Amino acid sequence: MNLLKKNTYLFSCLVFFLFLLPVFLQAQDILKGSEVHGSMQADAIYYLPDDKIGITDSTLDGKTIRMNGFTEVNYSLGNFTAGLRFEAYLPPLIGYDAQLNGVGVPYFYVNYKNDFIDVTAGNFYEQFGYGMMLRTYQEWTLGYDNSLRGLRIKLTPWKGITLKGVYGVQRYYWEPYKDYNRGIVKGFDADFYLNDIFSSMNDAKVKLTLGGSFVSDYQQGSTKEVAQNGKIYLLKMPVNVANYGGRFNLNIGGFNWFAEYAHKINDPTAMNNYIYKNGNGIFTNLSYSQKGLGISLMSKWIDNMGYKSNRTITNNMLNINYLPSITKEHTYALASMYSYSTQANGEAGVSGNVTFHLPKNSKLGGKTGMTIALNFSQVNGINKKAINDTVPVDELGTLGYATSLFSVGKEVYYQDANIEITKKFGKKWKGIFTYLYQTYNKDVIEGHAHDYGTIYSQIGIADVTWKITGKNSLRFELQGLWTKQDKGNWAAALIEYTVAPHWFISVMDQWNYGNTDPEQQLQYYLLSAGYNYNTTRVALSWGRQREGVICVGGVCRYVPATNGVTLTVTSSF
Amino acid sequence: MYFPEKPIFPGLLFSFVMQQKTIFMRNLTLILTMLLIVSGAYSQDGVFAYKELPSVAMQNIKGIAFNSTNITNNGKPIIISFWATWCKPCIRELSAISDVYDDWVTETGVKLYAVSIDDSRSAPLVGPLINGKGWEFEVLLDPNSDFKRAMNVGPIPHTFLLDGNGKVVWQHTSFAEGDELHLIDLVRQLNKDGKLTE
């Protein structure tokens, strides 16, 4: 008996094998319909000390090898699906939040789905409309995951009508939910695809979709003590904070127009300095396109729209809603050095895009044609006025400030004007040439107290591919960034050799040659090689990583400078 | 048909089992692992093949609802490519295919569905971009990556090849110049033999 107790684990394995194996064998017919799929990724870095970028043996503190990894497995049988994701951060890579340190299963679910109902119990990712009221998602490269754990029901009572209800608590690193340590999120959402609902509209040229959402977050505690400037304030707190709104999408031929409006009731938090103002947000886009031409005009106006399921945290986690930045997302190393991230407390932005294709054998297009993309975006603050003569703007425990819809403040947060030309030269050569002019208000975007001011930079990039043979190609990148502020001028070069479908090798160098401190005129060299086999990719790199901010969507992560050997393995099946 | 010759996941799962403290988790994992092994061994078609696409709600660029089960092509092969406006290798892949797409369609009858995983930040740019570049693929919007998750896609670009019955017969992550030549060879092989022999 003692032996069995000690080996409970082995014993249970044995029981399962003995009793369940025959069940499985007999269920072969059912199993024929079952599928197992999954994916995995492991990022491991061996860090090297590097005095020049400020990494010494003591900063590494013996933790020279670090790894982030996950494996996700999903099992489906007919209308039923179940899955889980195992994650390990041992310890997390430098630049990821230290609270990720650990091993476990932060994500698991079961789902049943047919044409009428779709039920998920466990963790789920959901988005209402464009996300200003609710969006949960995961971004592995950012270490970001705000999945809801609870229950979700989706109904399709009629063709063209989708109803959704969600109820749950969000993930916060590895911290288990207990005793209301974070909010309980409830939400309801409806979409009406009018052309599907009314058969008379099925083939109409005008396509119209309407939608609306209501989200509420319960946080315990109707009062809160907040210490500021040596005083302690006792504030009354709204226990349930609602965020609701509506949207439409109208499509007529090549024209498409959508808009979403959201209104949030007073929600004093550490992020908005505990003010009691309501929040408002509008996000809209008008576009026209036909073959060879695409135009879009986007605008966004948000006022006090931060919405988290814990009012005291100031980091990037536990966002209930999603406030996308409308500036263009750049991926070239120097073009993304100064990239914008949404200021939830208030911003007014516009963005315009024009893409057009000059056809083959035309005067400007030449023999092979040419594509030109123009983009301009600007984001300012909103106009905030004091509510009266005695209360300064954003004063704790007050209504904060007054503003009017679509008001635009004087301060420029970000501006980006760029042009990108894609051109082929015969059958073997093609190039992408980009020029950007960016204005980056470092104090506002990174949250400094008037230390750095605004950075004006010009960036030029040439990206040329030479197809040597059908499967061998060489790609070159030459980049320059010119600015009088911050760290001064940069140059970057890359050479990448690929042999389809398996191999690549590349070498890159970024050089801060214009730094006013000669000691800081550093080179960030990186040598990489990788192998692909269908859905498996193994890449190894060695070199320095530049300090910077990685942003995906509305969330950013600061990456300190590092030096080391990185192994990345990704696979799916 | 593709599946790894030596699956690594049961091993990973077992090592993860050892990390867990509660009997419940041990057993849950054990069941899943056993299901994996047993069903893998006994089902003839292999549990690792997508016999049909999972049902996921998406939209087309006109804002009309589109369910993934409507990805069809009258019994001819289908290519599904996951991409985004900010993903340079994805744009390179789709541009390379776009240059020869007319010839591909005429020769093989293949149809390409380009599934954009742009979120609400850049999804409004998808329609203008594909028209601006003159691409003629079927484009679908998956702004919260629901279909991407259902197809277990990690890094993009990620390309699936489906046979005429809607079964996934091949998939590939990443793009290198020349990969498109391999892809169309596979489509031809599929048309000729009804399956892939690699």
Give DSSP secondary structure letters for B131-164.
HHHT--SEEEE-TT-HHHHHTT--SS-EEEEE-T
pLDDT of residue A328: 92
pLDDT of residue A61: 84
Asked whether A188 and A216 are in contact (CB, 8 A), the reply is no
**Cα–Cα distance for residue pair B73/B87, rounded to 1 Å:** 27
pTM assigned to the model:
0.88
Tokens of B104: 């591909």
DSSP A250: E
Tokens of A291: 């073959």
pLDDT of residue A1: 42
Question: Under an 8 A CB cutoff, do A35 and B36 touch?
Answer: no
Per the structure, the count of domains in chain B is 2
Question: Residue B30: pLDDT band by 50, 70, 90 thresholds?
Answer: low
Has residue B41 got a pLDDT over 70? Answer: no
**Cα–Cα distance for residue pair A226/A206, rounded to 1 Å:** 53
A46-55, A115-124, A358-367, B181-190: least confident range: A358-367
Q: How close B49 comes to chain A (CA, Å)? A: 7
Question: Measured in whole angstroms, how far is the alpha carbon of residue A272 from the centre of its chain?
Answer: 22
Instruction: Indicate if B118 and B72 belong to the same structural domain.
Output: yes
Question: Under an 8 A CB cutoff, do B131 and A294 touch?
Answer: yes
- pLDDT, tens digit, 9 for 90 and up, residues A516-527: 999 999 999 999
- Of the partner residues A81, A357, A534, the one whose CB lies closest to the CB of residue B133: A357
- pLDDT, tens digit, 9 for 90 and up, residues B139-192: 999 999 999 999 999 888 999 999 989 999 999 998 988 899 999 999 999 999
Instruction: Indicate if B127 and B174 belong to the same structural domain.
Output: yes
pLDDT of residue B44: 44
A196 belongs to a structural domain? yes
Question: Residue A481: pLDDT band by 50, 70, 90 thresholds?
Answer: very high
pLDDT of residue A347: 95
Question: Under an 8 A CB cutoff, do B144 and A126 touch?
Answer: yes
Instruction: Indicate if B123 and B153 belong to the same structural domain.
Output: yes
pLDDT of residue A534: 87
**Cα–Cα distance for residue pair B169/A316, rounded to 1 Å:** 40
Q: Which residues of A touch B54 (CB under 8 A)?
A: 76, 81
The burial of A324, by beta-carbon neighbours within 10 Å (0-12 exposed, 13-18 middle, 19 or more buried), is given as: buried
Q: Which residues of A touch B35 (CB under 8 A)?
A: 24, 34, 36, 75
Residue B91: phi, psi to the nearest 5? -65, -40
Instruction: Indicate if B109 and B37 belong to the same structural domain.
Output: no
B144 inside 8 A of chain A by CB: yes
A461 belongs to a structural domain? no
Q: What is the mean pLDDT of residues B44-55?
A: 77
- The residues with which A506 forms a beta bridge, in sequence order, are A496, A528
> CB-side exposure of B56: number of CA atoms within 13 Å?
22
Instruction: Indicate if B33 and B75 belong to the same structural domain.
Output: no
Q: How close B18 comes to chain A (CA, Å)? A: 10
Beta strands in A20-64 (DSSP E): 34-47
B159 belongs to a structural domain? yes
Q: Which residues of A touch B183 (CB under 8 A)?
A: none
- Of the partner residues A21, A285, A291, the one whose CB lies closest to the CB of residue B124: A285
**Cα–Cα distance for residue pair B47/A402, rounded to 1 Å:** 60
pLDDT of residue B197: 76
Residue A390: phi, psi to the nearest 5? -95, -15
Question: Residue A257: pLDDT band by 50, 70, 90 thresholds?
Answer: very high
Question: Under an 8 A CB cutoff, do B49 and A35 touch?
Answer: yes
Instruction: Indicate if B156 and B188 belong to the same structural domain.
Output: yes
pLDDT of residue A141: 86
> CB-side exposure of A6: number of CA atoms within 13 Å?
3
Instruction: Indicate if B33 and B106 belong to the same structural domain.
Output: no
- Of the partner residues B45, B88, B134, the one whose CB lies closest to the CB of residue A331: B88
Q: What is the mean pLDDT of residues A351-373?
A: 88
Going by C-alpha positions, the residue among A296, A298, A303 that lies closest to residue A284 is: A298
Instruction: Indicate if B125 and B144 belong to the same structural domain.
Output: yes
Instruction: Indicate if B42 and B86 belong to the same structural domain.
Output: no
Question: Under an 8 A CB cutoff, do B25 and A105 touch?
Answer: yes
pLDDT of residue A34: 86
Q: Which residues of A touch B64 (CB under 8 A)?
A: 193, 195-196, 207, 209, 251
Q: Is A314 helix (H, G, I), strand (E, B) or coil?
A: coil
Q: Which residues of A touch B178 (CB under 8 A)?
A: 467, 469-473, 500-501
The domain spanning residue B137 has which CATH number? Answer: 3.40.30.10
Question: Under an 8 A CB cutoff, do B57 and A287 touch?
Answer: no
Asked whether A101 and A91 are in contact (CB, 8 A), the reply is yes
Percentage, residues of chain A above pLDDT 90? 74
Percentage, residues of chain B above pLDDT 90? 57
Has residue A27 got a pLDDT over 90? Answer: no
Q: Which residues of B touch A105 (CB under 8 A)?
A: 20, 25
Going by C-alpha positions, the residue among A320, A72, A338 that lies closest to residue A217 is: A320
B6 inside 8 A of chain A by CB: no
**Cα–Cα distance for residue pair B169/A364, rounded to 1 Å:** 43
Has residue A268 got a pLDDT over 60? Answer: yes
- Amino acid (one-letter) located at A518: P
Q: What is the mean pLDDT of residues A235-249?
A: 96
**Cα–Cα distance for residue pair A438/A413, rounded to 1 Å:** 11
Question: Measured in whole angstroms, how far is the alpha carbon of residue A368 from the centre of its chain?
Answer: 36
Question: Residue B31: pLDDT band by 50, 70, 90 thresholds?
Answer: low
Question: Under an 8 A CB cutoff, do A103 and B130 touch?
Answer: no
Instruction: Indicate if B83 and B138 belong to the same structural domain.
Output: yes
Q: What is the mean pLDDT of residues A162-175?
A: 96
Q: How close B76 comes to chain A (CA, Å)? A: 22
Tally of CB atoms within 10 A around A409 = 15
Question: Under an 8 A CB cutoff, do B64 and A207 touch?
Answer: yes
pLDDT of residue A149: 97
Interface test with B, best of A31, A74, A331 (most B CBs within 10 A): A31
ipTM of the predicted structure?
A: 0.90
Going by C-alpha positions, the residue among A144, A493, A465 that lies closest to residue A333 is: A493
Interface test with A, best of B30, B131, B179 (most A CBs within 10 A): B131
The full DSSP string for chain B is: ----SS--HHHHHHHHHHH--SHHHHHHHHHHHHHHHHHHHH-TT-TTS-SS----EEEETTS-EEEGGG---TTS-EEEEEE-TT-HHHHHHHHHHHHHHHHHHHHH--EEEEEE---TTTGGGHHHHHHHHT--SEEEE-TT-HHHHHTT--SS-EEEEE-TTS-EEEEEES--TTHHHHHHHHHHHHHHHSS---
Instruction: Indicate if B189 and B122 belong to the same structural domain.
Output: yes
Q: Which of residues 22-81 of B touch A (CB under 8 A)?
A: 23, 25-27, 30-32, 34-36, 38-40, 42-45, 47-51, 54-55, 57, 61-65
Tally of CB atoms within 10 A around B67 = 14
Question: Under an 8 A CB cutoff, do A39 and B154 touch?
Answer: yes
Tokens of A440: 């980056």
- Amino acid (one-letter) located at B34: M
A435 belongs to a structural domain? no
Average pLDDT, chain B: 82
A366 belongs to a structural domain? no
Per the structure, the count of domains in chain A is 1
Going by C-alpha positions, the residue among A85, A91, A84 that lies closest to residue A65 is: A91
Q: Which residue has the higher pLDDT, A543 or A30?
A: A543
Q: Which domain holds residue B179?
A: 57-193
Question: Residue A434: pLDDT band by 50, 70, 90 thresholds?
Answer: very high
- pLDDT, tens digit, 9 for 90 and up, residues A533-543: 888 999 999 99
- pLDDT, tens digit, 9 for 90 and up, residues A186-227: 999 999 999 999 999 888 999 999 999 999 999 998 999 998
Tokens of B108: 């093989």
Average pLDDT, chain A: 90
Q: Which domain holds residue A193?
A: 115-324
Instruction: Indicate if B66 and B131 belong to the same structural domain.
Output: yes
B198 belongs to a structural domain? no
Has residue A514 got a pLDDT over 50? Answer: yes
State which residue of chain A sits closest to B172, comparing Cα positions: A534
Has residue A11 got a pLDDT over 70? Answer: no
Q: Which residues of B touch A152 (CB under 8 A)?
A: none
pLDDT of residue B59: 94
**Cα–Cα distance for residue pair B30/B42, rounded to 1 Å:** 18
Has residue A256 got a pLDDT over 50? Answer: yes
Q: How close A445 comes to chain B (CA, Å)? A: 18
